[in-house]
Homo-oligomer: A and B are copies of this chain.
Amino acid sequence: MSSTFIGNLALSIFGQSHSAAIGTTLDGIPAGEPIDMDLLGKFLRRRSPGSFPWATTRKEYDVPEVLCGIVNGKTCGAPITAIIRNKDTKSSDYDNIRDIPRPSHADFTANVKYKGFQDVSGGGHFSGRLTAALCLAGGICLQILARRGIYIGAHVGSVGHYQDQSFDPMAVDKSIFSALHDMSFPTINREAAEDMIGSIQDAKINGDSVGGSVECAAIGLPPGLGDPIFDGMENRISRLIFAIPAVKGIEFGLGFSAASMLGSYHNDPFCISKDSIATSQNNHGGILGGITSGMPLIFRVAIKPTPSISKPQQSVSLSKMESAALSIRGRHDPCIVPRAVPCVESAAAIAILDAILQPCNLEK
C-alpha cells in the first residue's frame, strides 16, 4: 500500500517535495481529544532546518493547516487531515537528475518503478521533506499519548565517530525528554554535541555529509500492548521507522550487542517494584514477545550520511547509457541526524498509539 499504513489506525502520508502541499490523514483517532495547535507547531519546528550549520538553507515554515477532523480544538472522530503548503521550492535545481541519478538516492529506483513518470523535483515523494507529514501525524499522536502518561523522547546517539551517552534504561524520566526537546541539537552529554557539530561542519566545508544514529525511549507504557508474530511492537515500530529516508537499521534493547552475550547475562530477572511486576535490569528494551513489559521501551536507529553532497560524484546518463559526472546543486543537510530526532519520536508515537487502540471487547 506504499504510503498508507493500516493497523488499528489508518495513516496516509501524501505529497512530493515540490508539490502544492504535503500532508497526512489519520483515521481512527478517538473523538474528544484536545489537540493543541501551538504545541503541534512547536513540535514541527524541531524538524525545521532553522539556521543551523547542520541543516539545509531551504526555508520551511511548516505551518500546518487542519482541513478536517478537529472541531473546536477537539477531535470529532472523523479522519484528521492536515497539510503543509510547500513554499520555498526551486525545481530548476533538479533538472539534470532526471537523466543522471544521484548516487544512493532513490532517483534511479524510482525511475525504474514509475517508468520515468516520477516527480524528480527535490526527490519527489522520496524526499526527506515528507517526514514533515510524518511529524504532523506524530505530533498529534504524541499529545494523545501524553494525556495518558506516555512520553516519548529521542536524542542524537552519534554522529560520525562521536557518541552521546545512552539513556539509562532503568531510569528514563520525563524531565530528560523536556530538556532534550528544548535543544536544537539534542544530546544527553553537551560536550558530545560540540564534537558532533564540529564534525558536521568539517563535512560541510568539504562538500561532504556524515551519518549518525538516534536513540529513542518511551515511558509510561502499560504492560500488555502489542501483538504476537507480525504485529509485535518491534514489527510496528520498524515498519514506521523505515518510512524515514536514510534509516538503515534498527535495534531494540541491547540489539546487536545482545548477539554476543550469554543468556544468563542478557536475561532480565523479574522483580516486584512498587507493588507491580518489573525487571531488575532492562536489556530487553521494554518488549517481550512483541508485547510491552511496562519497562522503558528503548530502540536505536542507524542513519546513513545524507546522500546529497556537493563533491563531484560518478553516475550514469540513463538516456545515453554511459558514465556521467554529477555535481549536485541545491540546498542540503550535511547531517540529517538532528532533524531526524522528532521524526523518530513521531514514528514511535504512531506505532504506540496504534497498539493502544487495540480491538477491545464489549463487556459480557
Q: Which one of A51-59, A171-179, A254-262 contacts B? A: A254-262
> Do A67 and B20 touch across chains, with their CB atoms under 8 A apart?
yes
The 6 closest A-B pairs by CB, nearest first: A106-B289, A249-B251, A78-B125, A209-B263, A2-B227, A19-B68
CA distance A9 to B32 in the complex (A): 25
Contact A14 B69 (CB under 8 A): yes
Chain B proximity mask over A49-79: 1 for CB below 8 Å, otherwise 0? 0000000000000000111110100111111
Residue interface bits A344-364, CB-to-B below 8 A is 1, else 0:
000000000000111111111
Question: A201 near B: Cβ within 8 Å?
Answer: no
Q: Is the C-beta of A213 less than 8 angstroms from some C-beta in chain B?
A: yes
Q: Within residues 1 to 40 of chain A, which ones have a CB less than 8 A from any CB in chain B?
A: 1-10, 12-16, 19-23, 25, 27-28, 30-32
User: Does A322 touch B at the CB level, under 8 Å?
Assistant: yes
Across the interface, which residues of B come within 8 angstroms of A125, CB to CB? 68, 76-79, 228-229
Complex: A126 Cα to B290 Cα, angstroms? 9
Cα distance A112–B31 when bound, in Å? 11
- Given known contacts A19-B67, A235-B243, A256-B302, what 18 new A-B pairs fall within 8 Å (CB)? A1-B231, A2-B227, A4-B230, A14-B27, A14-B78, A31-B114, A32-B115, A76-B117, A160-B260, A161-B260, A210-B262, A212-B260, A230-B243, A250-B250, A258-B304, A263-B305, A264-B309, A356-B362
Contacting residue for A2 out of B231, B258, B283, B302, CB 8 A: B231
B263 touches A1 (CB 8 A): no
A90 CB-CB contact with B under 8 Å: no
* Closest B residue, CB atoms, query A357: B359
B residues in contact with A7, CB < 8 Å: 1
Least CB distance, A156 to chain B, in whole angstroms: 11
Q: Is the CB of B78 within 8 A of A266?
A: no
- Does A105 belong to the interface (CB within 8 Å)? yes
In the complex, chain B residues whose CB is within 8 Å of the CB of A251: 248-251, 256, 302
Known: A27-B1, A305-B262, A362-B222. A13 touches B212 (CB 8 A): no
Residues of B within 8 Å of A313, CB to CB, are: 264, 267, 269
- Is the pair A269, B109 in contact by a Cβ cutoff of 8 Å? no
* Interface presence of A245 (CB below 8 A): yes
Q: A109-B289, A259-B302, A315-B270 are in contact. Are A27 and B10 (CB under 8 A)?
A: no
